[in-house]
Amino acid sequence: MTLAEAPCPRDFTYRSAGYVAKGCPPGTGISVCYEYRLSNDPKKDLDKDSQGRTLQRNEFFSATKPANSKPREYTFKIKVDPSVASVPQFDPLPIVGLDTGEGVPNAGNPGMPVYLDVRDNKAGIYTRGDPWNPVISIPLGSFVGRCTYHTWTYKPGSAGYIDIKIVDCNTKQPLLTFKKTGQISTGTYRMRVGTRRFVSNVIPPVKVFWGDWRGRDAN
């Protein structure tokens, strides 16, 4: 359901098993800011996925859009806290991505064809085609602890594309860029912010700040 009074932007929905709050510490660099956390205790912040598997989850979803070939641009800021430690290559820790939504033909089978993930001591862009190796990455230490400004532009359809630009909020230094043309996904889509992960005996705590969100039709 959409919760206008919930700690997330207007028209967002969310599913949370962990800590979620509106408002961030001074110096975060995000004006309208939200924070989420997941515990390093594998017995806390638990939820079930559609197949009944146990996981930890804090996820926020923008409004679902039809795959009508119109490009849409999303801009926002994210700061991953330095306390977020590296996880193994095969333990995904997603932060934000393009989500296939919940409408036809994706009902019951949402996923992220393109997303930002922090693992294997890297912050990188991953695709559904190879979920274990990033198409581009930087050292994790160069990403955590800094405010990052994101521009994600997506055009559905066979002549579509995804164009991602991530820069430092203050210096405007480019950090990660990625563009792919062609059909990225089918059906409806939306943006997903947050982390979903399967639990194990050794998992780091997660603390992420995000906000200053804007979604608009692009030219």
Residues linked to residue 127 through DSSP beta bridges, in sequence order: 114, 130
Whether omega for the bond prior to residue 105 falls within 30 degrees of 0, making it cis, is yes
Asked whether residue 7 is domain-assigned, the answer is no
Tell me the pLDDT tens digit for each residue of 21-51.
999 999 999 999 999 999 999 999 999 987 8
What is the structure's pLDDT at 7? 56
Instruction: Tell me which residues of the chain have a pLDDT lower than 70.
Output: 1-8, 101-110
Asked whether residue 4 is domain-assigned, the answer is no
Asked whether residue 201 is domain-assigned, the answer is yes
Q: Residues 6 or more apart from 29 whose CB is under 8 A from it?
A: 77, 79, 147, 169, 170
What is the structure's pLDDT at 103? 53
Range of the domain at 52: 13-217
Q: Residues 6 or more apart from 193 whose CB is under 8 A from it?
A: 59, 60, 61, 76, 78, 95, 96, 210
* H/E run at residue 164: strand 161-168
First to last CA, the chain: 30
Global pTM value: 0.91
What is the structure's pLDDT at 176? 99
Residue 98: give its domain's CATH number: 2.60.120.200
Tally of domains in the chain: 1
Asked whether residue 109 is domain-assigned, the answer is yes
